[in-house]
Amino acid sequence: MLIRRAELPCGEIADVRVSGTKIGKIGALAPLPDETLIEADGGALLPGLRDQHLHFLAYAASLESFSCADYDGTDACIEALHHAPRQANGWVRAVDFHESMGEISLAALDRDGPNVPVRIQHRSGRLWILNSLAIDHVKGGAVCPAFAHGITTGHFYDVDHELGRRLGHTLPDVARASRSLAAYGIVGFTDMTPTNSAHEARMFREWQEAGILLQDVQLAGRASLTAGPTKVHLHESDLPPFESLCQGIKDSHKRGRVVAVHCTTEVELVFTLAAFEEAGVIEGDRIEHASICNESCLRTIADLGLMVVTQPNFIAERGDTYLDEIEKSALLDLYRCASFMAADIPFAIASDAPFGGANPWAVMEAATKRVTASGIELTPEERISPEDALACVTGSLADPANPLTIHEGADASLVVLDQSWRAIRRSLASACVQLTVKRGEVVHSIASISPSERASVAEMS
């Protein structure tokens, strides 16, 4: 494959030959007989992107779900559920609910919603709201402990596994979700679902072998996995015994696995840092989110040598809600970017899809602009440059904070944009990916998809 007249990261226009899984030559190159030619026409050639924190199956399911985010208030949302698409099992599955819309009561959902089983997921991913038809289905005549606390309210926390078991674990369209990620230029991702086990590892491997999952995958999850980070999902309202967390960190390290701890509150972060101080840190241990990180925690993270993977896209997506709900003093500590870099903390940005938008270009733009949906600047001192934002999404899965580069002999996982970097850097969210190559294999090409698919890609971008 020869990519002609591509703009390299240094700004030079050159031809790039892909030989097998590697970049062969870079320069002014003549096509070889029968060589596939890709005309970049001066578009930026960049390393392939990696999303270092998403939840792939939930993202795939979200593409088939009704979004509550499009409606102003719960009454309008419940009314719109009548027109929401039904899943194969006859249910309505809705996502992106947040209490800023109001409260969805079981009575209102039964009275005003459709006469089919309905389940609505809070944007945090923890809460499911079910109507009575859905409750009757999942409880199956016997109320298990996982559902006992929500029978009268319809509000159920942390029941994903049990819901899946009772609904038969119907899988969403994996191929569609993978293609949508490839259209963004994503060649690999780390799935941070805490319940990932050997079963999920086998499924992902089978999908890759069948050619329906186009990305490289690193699974984080249960301690029983043999590779990838051990995921610890903390909840401030129900923290584990301190000694238990410390022992879990030590046990993971003994098995050669790093630890990734979910920290969305200051209490969770302080608790986690104390555990790492007690149990020890190995290279690659990471804090997920670090949503609120005060100066003291920032110094401790730096001193311990921990990595941070955070989500600046939430500033753009949820910033207006944060301004209403979070104490003003805490806003200064929200989803830091520049402070992590200034403290030499290994640092990457990621989407947390589907709980955040999956478009990595929008994630990068949020890191550079720090502007809420209504246009309010939120901690502009935490802005980073477009080049630094790109570096934060082009690290390998094994080493997220170390950006990959384009050079002869490098891995041929590449992205070609429709414009130069100089043009794109002014509005990263407008980037249109023309071509995505993973280790020498084209996994997305704007030229090879139908007009309707092309319009969908343009809308996503």
- pLDDT tens profile 133-151: 988 887 765 556 666 667 7
Tokens of 237: 């309202």
Return the pLDDT at 288.
98
Residues 6+ apart with CB under 8 A from 326: 292, 334
Measured between alpha carbons, how far is 422 from 162 in angstroms, rounded to an integer?
49
Return the pLDDT at 290.
98
Sheet holding 230-233, edge to edge: 230-233, 259-263, 286-289, 307-310, 347-349
- Residue 404, Ramachandran bin (φ over 0: left; ψ between -120 and 50: alpha; else beta): beta
Return the pLDDT at 67.
87
Tokens of 220: 């984080």
From residue 3, alpha-carbon distances to 6, 62, 137, 168, 203 in Å are 7, 35, 55, 46, 34
Hey, what amino acid is at 136? D
- Asked if 408 and 24 touch (Cβ cutoff 8 Å), the reply is yes
- Residue 141, Ramachandran bin (φ over 0: left; ψ between -120 and 50: alpha; else beta): left
Residues 6+ apart with CB under 8 A from 54: 189, 190, 191, 192, 350, 351, 352, 353, 354, 358
Angle at 50 between CA 46 and CA 54, to 5 degrees: 150
- Asked if 55 and 125 touch (Cβ cutoff 8 Å), the reply is yes
- Asked if 255 and 220 touch (Cβ cutoff 8 Å), the reply is no
Tokens of 126: 């923890």
Return the pLDDT at 13.
98
Measured between alpha carbons, how far is 406 from 432 in angstroms, rounded to an integer?
20
Handedness of CA 419, 420, 421, 422 (dihedral sign): negative
Distance of CA 90 to the CA centre of its chain: 28
- Regions of the chain where pLDDT drops below 50: 449-455, 457-461
Helix (H) or strand (E) holding 83: none
Residue labelled with tokens 């997220």: 400
Measured between alpha carbons, how far is 308 from 276 in angstroms, rounded to an integer?
14
Tokens of 393: 């999404």
Measured between alpha carbons, how far is 57 from 385 in angstroms, rounded to an integer?
32
Beta strand ranges found along 8-78 (DSSP E): 13-19, 22-27, 37-39, 45-47, 49-54, 66-67
Q: Is 286 exposed, middle or buried, given 0-12, 13-18 or 19+ CB atoms closer than 10 A?
A: buried
